[in-house]
Structure 1
Amino acid sequence: MSTTLQRKGTIGSIGDGIEWVRRNPILIGVFFLYGTLEFVAEILGPAGFGLSVVGFLVLLYLDGLVHVIGEQEATGATSDIGRASATVLGRYVSLLGIAIVYGLVVFVGFLFLVLPGIYLGVRLSLAFPACVIDDRDAFESLSTSWDVAKGNLLKLFGISVASFLVIAGAGLVTALLTGVGDEFYLTFLGVSAVVTAVVSPVVQFAYARVYLENRPLEKSAGTEDDAWGSTTDDGTRSERDDDRWDDANW
């Protein structure tokens, strides 16, 4: 069943993400384990390449897990990690395909003076929640994200910038305490594992929320509802103006 939510801006989406993490603290633990895996891989240097690959595969699963739990939270259902995990594993090949295409497209975009890479990264960022929430294959998910993200570019960009600022702030505080050198590097790797454990699920919940409030709705039989409609504050459907960058995005 499709679910639409009242539209919120960057701060509202992050706020819901924080609340959903508070109700699912186990996610902090599993993301901390992922951060620890990345910490070890960095310490090992080239010898840790295999661990980095494992970390990438684990992160893909964890992000998908958060997106499905986000749908459960948004619909008022009891969070069921087991059911969410089964959903993600069932779509994992598609998620991997999305990640490969996403990485290649963004990489090529960054070759053209960075800004195209940022734009493409934001425009395709909702492909991951589209895949696991609405059971779409890789190319359907990328196409859906391209359409859905169009009217939410500043909102999605704002979520990414907020997470970057938190991580950058953690790095600055670490540098002030340790100075810049080997001690900073090792300490920041440890700090990053802790910060990742909290920031990553919040960000992925926020992305899931943006997708859920703008997801394509299946037309009901005998109706002419716009499949791209959204709900207003009184619960009625209304058309979205996808050509705007600033539809309450902040």
Structure 2
Amino acid sequence: MTTTLDRKGGIATVREAASWLGQNPVLIVAYLALGIVNALGELGVLAGLLSIVGLFVMLYVDGLSHLVARDEGFGETVDLSSASETVVDQFLSLIGIFIIYAVAVTIGLILLIIPGIYLALRLSLAFPACVIDRKDTFESIDASWDAAGGNLLKLLGITILAALVFGVATGVAALLTGLDETFFAVTVAVSAVVTAIVGPLVELAYARVYLENRDRAVDEPDDGDTTDEPWDDEPWDEGDDTWDDGTEAWDEPESTSWDVDDDDRDRRDR
């Protein structure tokens, strides 16, 4: 059974993710709910509580998107009920991944911006790894580190595209409303709508990148088998050669010694 998808460029990856989103519009509804929760939090309505709720909702709908990408990528029927159960089962691991991700990226951004961006990209595939392959927190981090290697530019391009869409949408809102008292409310509303489209698109694309490279983490344990080869071949060959050389060295003096004694006997007999 095929476990990976064919590799594609960044644009082709986003295009296919958009196709999957069009076939699963329920994700748009789910991310719209996430956008509304985040918007209410930004407006100051129970901000602390809603920020926590928003985090949980984000992890849940992101997980759904990753499993939808898996099913669509391999031509299987999308089962949202089964996907939901999987995400719930992996939820503690997802929370652990988020904590490690947030701490690592924050420290990287505080020290220097570039290390923070690098860590964000290198760890971004831990979330799809967790739900797609049912890995725990640290296994998911390791899998992401392996799978993201060599794909940083693609992941960066997807992230920049999402940021540009948000920026353009916010700019349009500013032009239409002006920087008055309604600007903030309109911006929050626009953010919720954009989240409904861009959010699942990015997560579907991330999941596809992981599905292209998931075999990297799976194949690594096989590297240990190569340590058996020297024990099977080289030392034994060297030992045999050494033994053969020793045998030749032993035979040669023995033959020479007998030849000398024979000459002495011949002289005495004469």
Structure 2 counterparts to residues 91-130 of structure 1, below 5 A: 91-130=90-129
How far the C-alpha of 1:44 sits from its partner, in A, is: 2.0
**Which has the higher mean CA deviation after the structures are superposed, 179-188 or 193-202?**
179-188
The amino acid across from 1:181 in the alignment is D
Establish whether residue 53 from structure 1 lines up as the match of residue 48 from structure 2: no
Secondary structure of residue in 2 paired with 1:44:
coil
Output the aligned Cα RMSD: 1.5
Structure 2 counterparts to residues 26-105 of structure 1, below 5 A: 26-44=26-44, 47-105=46-104
TM-score (norm 1): 0.85
Percent identical residues: 48
Establish whether residue 148 from structure 1 lines up as the match of residue 137 from structure 2: no
Say which structure, 1 or 2, has more relative contact order (CA 8 Å, 6+ apart). 1
How far the C-alpha of 1:38 sits from its partner, in A, is: 1.2
The amino acid across from 1:7 in the alignment is R
Task: Give CA-to-partner distance per residue, 1:141-162, whole Å, 9 cap, x none.
Answer: 1011111111100000000000
Secondary structure of residue in 2 paired with 1:79:
coil
Q: Which of the two has greater helix per residue? A: 2
What is the rounded CA distance, in whole Å, between the counterparts of 2:215 and 2:107 in structure 1? 28
The amino acid across from 2:80 in the alignment is I
What is the rounded CA distance, in whole Å, between the counterparts of 2:62 and 2:109 in structure 1? 23
What is the rounded CA distance, in whole Å, between the counterparts of 1:43 and 1:103 in structure 2? 23
- Correspondence for 1:18: 18
What is the rounded CA distance, in whole Å, between the counterparts of 1:141 and 1:181 in structure 2? 45
For the 8 Å contact 2:4–2:215, the answer to whether it is kept is no
What is the rounded CA distance, in whole Å, between the counterparts of 2:178 and 2:163 in structure 1? 21
What is the rounded CA distance, in whole Å, between the counterparts of 1:168 and 1:207 in structure 2? 20
What is the rounded CA distance, in whole Å, between the counterparts of 2:206 and 2:174 in structure 1? 30
What is the rounded CA distance, in whole Å, between the counterparts of 2:112 and 2:134 in structure 1? 35
What is the rounded CA distance, in whole Å, between the counterparts of 2:2 and 2:85 in structure 1? 20
How far the C-alpha of 1:68 sits from its partner, in A, is: 0.8
What is the rounded CA distance, in whole Å, between the counterparts of 1:40 and 1:120 in structure 2? 30
TM-score (norm 2): 0.79
For the 8 Å contact 2:9–2:154, the answer to whether it is kept is yes
Structure 2 counterparts to residues 231-242 of structure 1, below 5 A: none
- Correspondence for 1:187: 186
Could you list the runs of 4 or more consecutive aligned residues of structure 1 that deviate by over 4 angstroms after TM superposition? none
Task: Give CA-to-partner distance per residue, 1:6-51, whole Å, 9 cap, x none.
Answer: 1111111111110001000011011101111111111125x32101
What is the rounded CA distance, in whole Å, between the counterparts of 2:38 and 2:147 in structure 1? 32
Establish whether residue 136 from structure 1 lines up as the match of residue 124 from structure 2: no
Task: Give CA-to-partner distance per residue, 1:202-226, whole Å, 9 cap, x none.
Answer: 100000000001112656xxx99xx
For the 8 Å contact 2:3–2:215, the answer to whether it is kept is no
The amino acid across from 2:86 in the alignment is T
The amino acid across from 1:34 in the alignment is L
What is the rounded CA distance, in whole Å, between the counterparts of 1:48 and 1:76 in structure 2? 41
What is the rounded CA distance, in whole Å, between the counterparts of 2:2 and 2:104 in structure 1? 29
Secondary structure of residue in 2 paired with 1:5:
coil
For the 8 Å contact 2:93–2:130, the answer to whether it is kept is yes
Q: Which runs of 5+ in 1 are unaligned?
A: 225-250
What is the rounded CA distance, in whole Å, between the counterparts of 1:174 and 1:56 in structure 2? 26
Structure 2 counterparts to residues 173-184 of structure 1, below 5 A: 173-184=172-183
The higher radius of gyration belongs to: 2
- Correspondence for 2:3: 3
How far the C-alpha of 1:2 sits from its partner, in A, is: 5.4
Task: Give CA-to-partner distance per residue, 1:76-117, whole Å, 9 cap, x none.
Answer: 011110011011111110000000000000000001121110
